[in-house]
Every structure is written in structure tokens, then in C-alpha cells.
Structure 1
């Protein structure tokens, strides 16, 4: 049993070497007319190499008389780098449960969303998602405004 624990501990140390694991989260605010919504989405991920990563985001959204909880696993591919700026695309699956008063509904989606990451230091980055394209809750479409978010990541 002790050997298994030691092997698992050493494996965890190996996984966290060279800034392969990151944690952080994003914030977004959506508003139009009299309607407004705010969301927070902590996330964690693992970098397989310099161009590929996978992660999981958990979201909480408030606004328009409703509260929504979401889970969003994703695969990220970095396709271009200019100095400290990296451009990426996420392929993701989304499951959301929304509650408004006594009513509730669950929806899902699958799609892609581009983003940009700016390295501030070896460990800290600013990350923004600027749009999304895919199938979400019964509708296929491109969303440029309400899908935007900004966040901070810490890699260790």
C-alpha cells in the first residue's frame, strides 16, 4: 500500500512540473436594454505540451431573474504566438441547469470558441474568450457579444 501511495505522489509531482497545471477563472457581464447578467466561472486545466491543453470550467450565472449552473469541459489548441500573446481555439461541451422561481430547465451545447492569452509572467496570464460557434440549447449560431469573458490563470 505504501508503494502505491509513493507512486501516486511521484506521479502528481511529475504532472505539475513545468507549468503544466493551471487554475483560474473568468468573469463576464452581459447587458442589453433593461436586462443584465453576471457570471463567474472558475476553471482548472492541464497542458499536454506547448500547443494542447484540456480543462474544466464550472460556471455560476445570475441575472434576468434566473440562476444558472454550468459545467464545461474543453480541449484547447494554441495555433499562433506573437511574443507574450497566444491565440487559441477551444472545442467544448456545455451542460447548463437554469432555475427561475419554481421553474427549471437543463440545456446542453457543443461548439468552438476562439480566445487570446497574454502571458504577464511565467505563471500569470490574462485570458479572453471573444465569441462562440456551435449548437447551444436547440439553436445553431454565432454569438460575438454575449459569449465574451475575461479571466486570470495561474500555472504551476
Structure 2
């Protein structure tokens, strides 16, 4: 809900800025570098008399881009995600870990609404390789699996220039096609093709971008 309120505030201030500077246009000049990214951490646990559950995970997604033309940037996003789930009972221990690496080149176009406010569209080509392992007590042949995901995505967003060096950015959802290949203990198990469109409060996130020229 807080993210939604911040996004509405971003839209409001953008239109206020547009009303005050009608002759200005949002402009990030050719030759500018952009640096940004996101960091996320989550942790929770629960327990009762007979069992205990623990979960921990974090995500790193640095991003760098270069404006090949005014308001048009080409760049690269790298990502790493780690998660661990642990389930303990008096006579049993289960633990699952996952590591995922992502590389995603992108092309991003800004459409000026005012001097400080713009709508943008970002096109991604994405590859993610994730490995998972499930461990059990006295496990002689614990399950290991690998998943390769190839995707193409289009993501709309909003950007508000806080200054000539920083912008506040909001992603509003995604339109995505993906192809995944699943291997278990080195053996091909399944392939999946999916097409998804998501838009809503759960798909809105905010970020900060630094510009260098």
C-alpha cells in the first residue's frame, strides 16, 4: 500500500511540474550514463511444539545503461538471488536452497510529459539459470535440479527527475513471454512456455537512478 501511495505521489508531482513548466521537456541527453539497481532481503520463521520453519532470502540487481540517443538508453541488468527454507521436526530435517543468476540486456525509451516527469517503456531479453537442492536427514542421493529460463519482456514505468543527477522510478507491471527448461540430476524432465501480463499493486516497485555525463 505504501508503494502504491508513493507511486500516486510520483504521478501527482509530475503533473504539477508539467503545469508549472509547460515549455520544458523531460530530457536525458545522448552520452549520459545511468546507474541503478535494487536490493531485497526477506526473513521469517515460525515454530510450534512439534516443528520449526525458517526462511531467508536476498536479491541483488545492479543495472547500468548508456544513452545512445536523447531519452533512449541501452543497458544491462545483472541479478543474483539466494533463498533457503529449513523445516525441522524432532525426527526430521529438511532444507532446500536455491541460487539464481540473471543477465538481461535492455533498451529503454522515455516519453516526456513535463520537464521532470516521463513515461517509459523498457524491453528486456532475459536469461536466468537457477539451481536448487533439497537435503534430508540420512539422504544418500539428495535431489538436485537446474532450471534455465529464457524470456522477453516489455515493462511500462514512470520516472520523476529529483535533480539533474537523480530520478525516482516506478515499474508498473510487465508483459512477458518465457521458455524454461527443467533438468533433474542431469536428466531432462520438462520444458514450459508461458505468456503473462501482470499489472497491479503487487507488481509496482520503486527505484532510484543516478545519471553521469
Asked if these proteins are the same fold (TM beyond 0.5), I'd say yes
Segments of 5+ residues of structure 2 without an aligned counterpart are 1-28, 43-52, 86-96, 134-143, 180-192
Give CA-to-partner distance per residue, 1:36-88, whole Å, 9 cap, x none.
96532101001123321111000122346422110110111112323422210
Q: For structure 1, which runs of at least 5 residues remain unmatched after alignment?
A: 1-16
The CA distance in 1 between the partners of 2:148 and 2:40, in whole Å, is: 21
Q: Report how far residue 147 of structure 1 moved.
A: 4.7
TM-score (norm 1): 0.74
Q: Which residue of 1 aligns with 2:36?
A: 24
- Equivalent residue for 1:53, pick from 53, 56, 73: 73
C-alpha displacement of 1:95:
0.3
For 1:143 and 1:21, the matched residues in 2 are separated by 29
Aligned to 2:127: 95
Counterpart of 1:107 (choices 129, 142, 149) is 149
- The 1:37–1:109 alpha-carbon spacing in structure 2 relative to 1, beyond 3 Å, is farther
* Partner residue of 1:134 out of 176, 180, 204: 176
1:122 Cα deviation after fit: 0.7
Asked which structure has the greater CA Rg, the reply is: 2
SS at match of 1:48: strand
Residue 125 (str. 1) matches residue 167 (str. 2): yes
1:50/1:126 Cα in 2 relative to 1: closer, same or farther (>3 Å)?
same
Match of 2:20 in 1: none
Using the alignment, how far apart are the partners of 1:18 and 1:52 within structure 2?
A: 8
How much has 1:120 moved relative to structure 2?
A: 1.1
Q: Using structure 2 for the length normalisation, give the TM-score.
A: 0.56
- Tell whether the 8 Å contact from 1:19 to 1:123 is kept in structure 2 after alignment: no
Equivalent of 1:80 in 91, 112, 119: 112
Change (3 A) 1:73 1:66: same
Cα separation, partners in 2 of 1:151 and 1:40, compared to 1, 3 Å: farther
Q: CA deviation at 1:155?
A: 0.9
CA distance in 1, matches of 2:57, 2:156: 22
Aligned to 1:144: 199
